[in-house]
Amino acid sequence: MLSTIEKVLFVAAVALALLLALREFLRKLRLVRSGRPVDRLDRPGTRLARTALQVLFQTPVIAQRPVTGFFHAFIFWGFLVFLGVTLNHVAEGFSAGLSLFGHGAVYSALLFLANLFAGLIIVAVAYFFVRRYVVRVKSLERPSWQSLTVLSFILVLMVSFLYYEAFKMTLPGAPRIPANFLANLAFAGLPAALAGAPQHGWLTFLWWLHILVIMAFGVFILYSKHLHLLAGPVNLFFRNLGVKAEIPVVDLEAQEKFGTPQVTDLTRKDLLDLFSCAECGRCDDVCPAFQSGKALSPRTLLDKLKQHLLDSEKELRRDPAALKKLLGEVVSEQEVWDCTTCGACMQVCPMLNEHIAKIMGMRQYAVLMESRFPEEFQTLYRGLENQGNPWGLGADSRFDWAKDLGVPLLAEKGECDILFWVGCAGSYDQQSQKTSRSLARLLQHAGCDFAILGAEETCCGDPARRSGMEYLYQMQARQNIETLKRYTFRRIVTACPHGVHVLKNEYPKLGGSYEVLHHSELLLELLEQGRLRVRPAAGGAPAYHDPCYLGRYNGIYEAPRRALARLGLRPREMASSRETSFCCGAGGGGMWKEEKTGKRISHCRLEQAAATGAGAVVTSCPFCAIMFHDAIAETGREGMTSLDLAQAIEENLA
């Protein structure tokens, strides 16, 4: 079909496209390699299998937004089909009538799938155009010329394929293949003058149009945000298989630099995240800071870092010391401190980007290297350093909440089955003390062999670590680990999800490995064993709030719900629940920091609870309970109540 000169032009066009793509690929690769090496090659079989399944079945994009996800999947699956179509298309250009797949059943199946997906992809293009440029959902308010270009490329590819197949039917002896059902419709719609005579000119034009758009598309991907089509699968392979939003242990004695002052201090996985970001806005849709009107936008954060990386190419080659500081010069301090470390952004990201790691790196740099942090944290840090708790109350009064309950101290018993880790909130906050007392009485009622550390317990270190003060975290953690070494116990139970996460997932890196249960797990165990007997609860079903560090960080969703079901209560689910639960605002140091911009996050969450029609909010975290208690008072919703799961169970003991 192609003349000799056209074949030469085709080879030249392919060579040029490959050259442009390779040059940009190597450029981006050099930028990613400018970061710190990170070991993400453990369990390669697991990584490869998970990546293959997620890419092939497109589960990350379908899971959170099924409709949008399926349209994305149609485009992806369609392009897999069109790989074969395009190869055959090239072959036909060099030899008219040639088919790499023969002219039998395989070829018919390929044409059927190509026609099917061409139609689905055209519908998907229309959907995405309306969503991005007509409706403009909140997370996609900024029009993107790059997205419009890609949508145009895809539409042209589909239309050119269908009409190329239609014009092939004008050739003498060309068959009408039933599998070519959309192309047959296109042929039927051709004017009689076109359909009644061979159209070699149109065939050649459509062949070149299809090929050139494919080449342009392939090159454009490397230069645009749509690089995520290539970088995304690689990013999925290098995912973190360990603790969610893991914070590496800082060697406070050997390291000279802490955190991430410059872009080269980010890891290579961090930098790969920047090119893997699809700018889909899912992270913004679930971010409590963004949704409550604060400065932080997880998507914008990654975009700022990416643009800075691209703009810093000369400095990276010539003088890395001249690079801008990330905090304050690339990303504002407000953005960094707005984060509650709830992990919602990472949960919904189809590319498994790790937003929190970048924020924590900047926080560590600010706190440990420059002593820059919200002024409210001065009280937090002073209390932790002097008294071992964020409130700065006397360490010797940590046991006061239980003095009339006959709760044994581990120092007196020497060993026990269950060590009840009370936590700072459970020891000092008046609302949380109610949870501690309820849990202690429930353990006594069930005949559990348990004890507490009393004044020997100090803060687990979560508030310090999540706010960037690694020094105080390690000080608290090492003190607790040394204390625990002196005693014998089988399990630790705590009502604080932050304590669960730190004791279970982070202490092992410092030498302390324990079996740690959240109190909802232990209470469910006792209920199922019949050691706690309850009667059906009076009143309506409450709304249940999933604490971020219980659910997203540790996957505990069912235990609290099953425990409530034992009371005859089926919780009313809020609009955002389970994996997409909306943060109460206390995490990441937010408990001790004033929200100076936007709406209070706790107020937003309380509105979601009120929208269920429930008169009570049940949670399984002292921080969440405190935030709800305050939000109820601040918003004048005195008709609502907030209580912990342990309180709800104790109120209905049979």
Q: How many whole angstroms separate alpha carbon 244 and alpha carbon 558?
A: 19
| Average pLDDT, rounded, for the chain | 93
Residue with more model confidence, 138 or 247: 247
**Has residue 138 got a pLDDT over 70?**
no
Residue type, 190: L
- Provide the pLDDT confidence category of residue 190 given band limits of 50, 70 and 90: confident
Give the pLDDT score at 132: 84
Mean pLDDT over 609-627 rounds to: 95
Q: How many whole angstroms separate alpha carbon 431 and alpha carbon 426?
A: 8
Indicate the DSSP class of residue 249: P
478 with 510: CB under 8 angstroms? yes
- Provide the pLDDT confidence category of residue 41 given band limits of 50, 70 and 90: very high
Q: Which residues pair with 516 in a beta bridge?
A: 492
Give the pLDDT score at 304: 97
Q: Which residues pair with 488 in a beta bridge?
A: 415
Mean pLDDT over 582-594 rounds to: 95
- Provide the pLDDT confidence category of residue 98 given band limits of 50, 70 and 90: confident
Residue with more model confidence, 95 or 84: 84
Residue 499 token pair:
């304590």
**Has residue 197 got a pLDDT over 80?**
no
Query: Taking phi first (over 0 means left), then psi (-120 to 50 degrees means alpha), and beta for anything else, what does residue 159 get?
Result: alpha
438 with 648: CB under 8 angstroms? no
- Tracing tokens 């359909």 back to the chain, one arrives at 195
CA distances from 494 to 423, 425, 427, 500, 589 (A): 7, 11, 12, 7, 20
Q: Which residues contact 418 (CB under 8 A, 6 or more apart)?
A: 443, 448, 449, 450, 451, 489, 490, 491, 492, 493, 522
What is the β-pairing status of strands 488-494 and 543-544? unpaired
Give the pLDDT score at 131: 86
**pLDDT above 90: percentage of residues in the chain:** 83
Cα 607-390-481 angle, rounded to 5 deg: 115
Q: Please provide residue 642's backbone torsions phi and psi, each rounded to the nearest 5 degrees.
A: -130, 130
Mean pLDDT over 537-553 rounds to: 93
Q: Report the CATH number of the 263-370 domain.
A: 1.10.1060
Query: Taking phi first (over 0 means left), then psi (-120 to 50 degrees means alpha), and beta for anything else, what does residue 600 get?
Result: beta
- Tracing tokens 């309306």 back to the chain, one arrives at 130
Instruction: Reduce the DSSP state of residue 243 to 3 states and report it.
Output: coil
**pLDDT above 70: percentage of residues in the chain:** 99
Mean pLDDT over 505-523 rounds to: 97
Residue 636 token pair:
């004048």
Residue 412 token pair:
């007196």
Cα 455-461-465 angle, rounded to 5 deg: 165
Q: Please provide residue 534's backbone torsions phi and psi, each rounded to the nearest 5 degrees.
A: -130, 160
Give the pLDDT score at 311: 96
Give the pLDDT score at 95: 84
Cα 544-549-550 angle, rounded to 5 deg: 50
**Has residue 141 got a pLDDT over 70?**
no
Cα 256-260-264 angle, rounded to 5 deg: 100
Over its C-alpha atoms, the chain yields an Rg (Å, rounded) of 30
Q: How many whole angstroms separate alpha carbon 46 and alpha carbon 247?
A: 22
Q: Is 65 exposed, middle or buried (0-12, 13-18, 19+ CB in 10 A)?
A: middle
**Has residue 310 got a pLDDT over 90?**
yes
Asked if the domains 4-237 and 263-370 are classified in one and the same CATH topology, the answer is: no
CA distances from 607 to 289, 604, 611, 643 (A): 15, 5, 6, 17
DSSP 470-483: HHHHHHHHHHHHHH
Q: How many whole angstroms separate alpha carbon 547 and alpha carbon 170?
A: 65
Mean pLDDT over 80-87 rounds to: 92
Q: How many whole angstroms separate alpha carbon 559 and alpha carbon 580?
A: 17
29 with 268: CB under 8 angstroms? no
Mean pLDDT over 603-619 rounds to: 95
- Provide the pLDDT confidence category of residue 280 given band limits of 50, 70 and 90: confident
Give the pLDDT score at 196: 76
Residue 313 token pair:
């190419």
End-to-end CA distance of the chain: 86
4-237: CATH topology is Fumarate Reductase Cytochrome B subunit (1.20.950)
Give the pLDDT score at 143: 64
Give the pLDDT score at 550: 97
pLDDT tens digits, residue range 439-482?
999 999 999 999 999 999 999 999 999 999 999 999 999 999 99
Domain ranges of the chain: 4-237, 263-370, 380-651
Q: Determine the distance from the C-alpha atom of residue 433 to the mean position of all C-alpha atoms in its chain, rounded to a whole number.
A: 33
**Residue among 353, 334, 336, 335 nearest 344 (CA):** 353
